[in-house]
Structure 1
Amino acid sequence: MAKRLGIIWVLCFLMINQTLQAQEISISDKQYATPSFAIKSNLLYLATTSINLGGEFKVSPQYTLDLSINYNPWSFSNNKKFKHILIQPELRYWLSSPYSEHFFGFHTLYAHYNVGGVKLPFGIFPSLRNNRYQGNLYGAGLAYGYQWNLAKQWNLETSIGLGYVYMDYKRYSCQTCGDLIESSHSHYFGVTKAGISIIYLLK
């Protein structure tokens, strides 16, 4: 699966290269004025006590490359945990110009996780309430988002993504003990990202 993820990355950079070659050298004054870099934080992830930071780079007049890193090292009462480190790059196409209004994205993701004793919304993975899972996941998906300008250098972004995730895992019988039940893998189709992010634009 790691090889497949590598292939996706290569295709992603080929798309960027092709886009850059297809653009005319002359760029309008409006496009020159577009910020070339932004930093951001996802408020939804912060609500789950996950530390996160993202950066977004303009790579052409209508494309940006977004990269976010999320980290949760905490254990809670009754040894509940949502420990993980998640890396999620995304290539974005903007309908008008970068950091303004509608965009569509293609993202990949990798995470190492150690999760147990938690209840996820919408009935997702109900066995997490009485089991602990540890392993890795790999995935890819498509996203849609929108950005609003709040102030001179501040934006607000909402986004949602759907796609596929492959997970390998070890399942343990409870949150606190270490009795191994099985080593296996699973496939998931559904939401692969969601965000309400505050963004600071750098000129």
Structure 2
Amino acid sequence: MMLRKFILFFFLWFQFGTLCAQVTVKTNLLGWGTASINGGIETKVSAKSTISLFGSINPFEFGNHKQWKHWLLQPEYRYWFCEPFYKGFIGVHTLGGEFNAAGIELPFDIFPELADYRFQGWMAGGGISFGYQWLLNRHWNLEASVGVGYLYVKYDKYPCASCGTRLDKGHKNYVGPTKAAVSLVYMF
């Protein structure tokens, strides 16, 4: 019985293991610029496509009542124009997570009240992405990608970073950038 399971496992691994032979791990260097610990894994699922799961977390509070606390997960499907992990791709991603942010001025006037109030809540959405990977050597790549899409954001509004009295609650429908990355990629 054990031998049959081993033979079946070996046969399935040999048949389907080559589909996922390429695996990469990556980190977004731009995310580290916001003190966000981040990383992802991506695997080949066909001759021209990959799937990935990327995550980010920031548990830190900064000086002057600034904080950008969050956790975020972002699964993505990518279609590569040349071959996986080389040159250009287009992707479809979803994302979701929770946040607790205050005292931050975001570019493009996104959420302008965030500079003066604290917002705590969750978000979910998705979008499309475009990117390119450059081969650095046998194991290392550099990737640049951007994404645009939609987010539903549900929040509670507070007067300051440490205050506990809720001023308001609400939601926002956001359309715009949902992803920006310059990632260092390691290929196994």
Q: What's the offset of the Cα at 1:123?
A: 1.9
Structure 2 length as normaliser, TM-score? 0.88
Q: Tell me, in whole angstroms, the C-alpha distance in 2 between the residues paired with 1:124 and 1:188.
A: 9
Structure-1-length-normalised TM-score? 0.82
Write the mapping of 1:1-203 to structure 2, written as runs, cut at 5 A.
36-202=22-188
User: Could you tell me which residue of structure 1 aligns to residue 6 of structure 2?
Assistant: none
Deviation at 1:176, TM superposition (A): 2.4
Query: What CA deviation, in whole Å up to 9, does each residue of 1:153-173 have, x standing for no partner?
Result: 100000000000001000011
Matched to 1:140, the amino acid is G
Query: 1:97 deviation in Å?
Result: 0.6
What is the Cα deviation at residue 94 of structure 1?
Answer: 0.4
Aligned 8 A contact 1:35 1:201 in 2: no
Shift of residue 179, structure 1, vs aligned partner: 2.0
Q: Is the 8 A contact 1:130 1:175 kept in 2?
A: no
Structure 1 residue 67 displacement after superposition: 0.8
C-alpha separation between the residues in 1 aligned to 2:107 and 2:148?
16
Matched to 1:126, the amino acid is P
User: Contact 2:65/2:160 (CA < 8 Å) preserved in 1?
Assistant: no
CA distance in 2, matches of 1:129, 1:95: 41
Q: CA deviation at 1:79?
A: 2.5
Code of the residue aligned with 1:95 in structure 2: it is: F
TM-superposition CA deviations, 1:88-127 (whole Å, max 9, x none): 0000000111001010000000010000011112222110
2:136 counterpart SS class = strand
5+ residue gaps, structure 1: 1-31
- Secondary structure of 1:79's counterpart equals coil
- What CA deviation, in whole Å up to 9, does each residue of 1:49-107 have, x standing for no partner? 00001100111111100110100000011221000000000000001110010100000
- Counting aligned pairs with the same residue, the percent is 45
Deviation at 1:47, TM superposition (A): 0.5
Counterpart Cα distance in 2 of 1:66 and 1:124 = 27
The number of residue pairs the alignment matches comes to 172
Moved over 2 A (4+): none
Q: Which has the higher helix share?
A: 1
Paired residue for 2:5? none
Output one character per residue of 1:17-48: Cα deviation in whole Å (capped at 9) or x when no partner: xxxxxxxxxxxxxxx7x961000000000100
- CA shift in 2, pair 1:179/1:133, >3 Å: same
Question: Which protein has the larger Cα radius of gyration, Structure 1 or Structure 2?
Answer: 2
**Which moved further from structure 2: 174-183 or 152-161?**
174-183
> Which range moved further: 119-128 or 146-155?
119-128
